[in-house]
Amino acid sequence: MSLEVAGVEFGYRRHSVLEGIDLTVAEGAFCALLGPNGSGKSTLTKILARILTPRTGTVRFAGRDLLRIPRREHAKTVSYVPQSSEAPFELTVREAVLLGRTPHIGLLPTARDWDVVEAAIDQLGLAELRHRHLSELSGGQAQRVLIARALAQEPRVLLLDEPTSALDLRYQIETLRIVRTITRERGVTALIAIHDLNHAAHFCDQAVLLHGGRIVADGPPAEAFDAETLGRVYGLEVRVERSGDTVDVRPAELGGAPGADRPEPLGRP
């Protein structure tokens, strides 16, 4: 059951944001959506989440067009992690994560609903914060609550819009590890809009590079990351180093003195 995006186009009046997006992500794959600001990666995740409506195109999963099925059915299939939280501040962490069970709950949450909530809280390292209010959390902690809420939804498709941007390095890595584990153990298809090319190369099965609203590269990171293409997309000369199935992207060293510090990987804040 692949996620199949066909002919998706989106824009605001005369301004085109996405043009002719055709994309297939296999069941259980972890796919990175990459590209500079304004390339369309966040817009694509919002279309898949049905926050935005495309001008044309279809998004199919398990034989159904996700853009046209009832909203409740869509919510049982797809969960979305935005860049920031808009949940009411008076909610506790536990209550906020319970919101992810909304598509599944009848009149009242069941014991299983609470079990799923507690499992998601533990998985994101939030156990000590479960009774804290969201207003008391740091930005990074609140972002992890959003991810826990999405996991509590038990989706078949997980969408993440730059979820690691507010996290320190430790929690960036832990979050990406968690998502990769979920895709492999539960067969969840995940798409993440992300800036860090090397994080994408290390954790993701598929890399989709967008530029000017179009897909310019698509495949395993070791194949999709080409120095010439990346240089054109980011406007920066880069070096792509490969070792087996691993790949590392760095800015080219321009006029560096011997022994100079090695530059940081491209895309890492």
pLDDT, position 114: 96
How much is the average pLDDT of 9-14?
90
47 CB neighbour count, 10 Å cutoff: 25
pLDDT, position 263: 45
How much is the average pLDDT of 164-183?
88
Amino acid letter, 19 = E
54 versus 262: which is more confidently predicted? 54
The model's confidence at residue 79, banded by pLDDT at 50, 70 and 90, is very high
170 versus 46: which is more confidently predicted? 46
Tokens of 166: 């507010």
Q: Is the dihedral of CA 177, 152, 140, 48 positive or negative?
A: positive
Residues 35-77: pLDDT tens digits?
999 999 999 999 999 999 999 999 999 889 999 999 999 999 9
pLDDT exceeds cutoff 60 at 268 = no
Q: 180 near 7, Cβ under 8 Å? A: no
pTM here? Answer: 0.88
pLDDT exceeds cutoff 90 at 90 = no
Q: Average per-residue pLDDT in the chain?
A: 89
How many residues are recorded in the chain? 269
Between the ranges 108-117, 165-174, 259-268, where is the mean pLDDT highest? 108-117
The model's confidence at residue 126, banded by pLDDT at 50, 70 and 90, is very high
How much is the average pLDDT of 13-17?
88
Residues 224-253: pLDDT tens digits?
999 999 999 999 899 998 877 788 888 886
Range list of H helices, the chain: 41-48, 71-77, 93-98, 111-123, 139-152, 169-186, 197-203, 221-224, 227-234
Nearest one of 47, 30, 142 to 88, comparing CA atoms: 142
Tokens of 143: 């972002």
pLDDT, position 167: 82
pLDDT, position 201: 94
Give domain limits for the chain. 85-155
Largest CA distance in the chain: 68
**d(C-alpha 161, C-alpha 52), whole Å:** 14
**d(C-alpha 134, C-alpha 103), whole Å:** 22
Concatenated DSSP letters for 143-184? HHHHHHHHHHT--SEEEEESTTTTS-HHHHHHHHHHHHHHHH
pLDDT exceeds cutoff 70 at 33 = yes
* CA 157 distance to own-chain centroid: 11
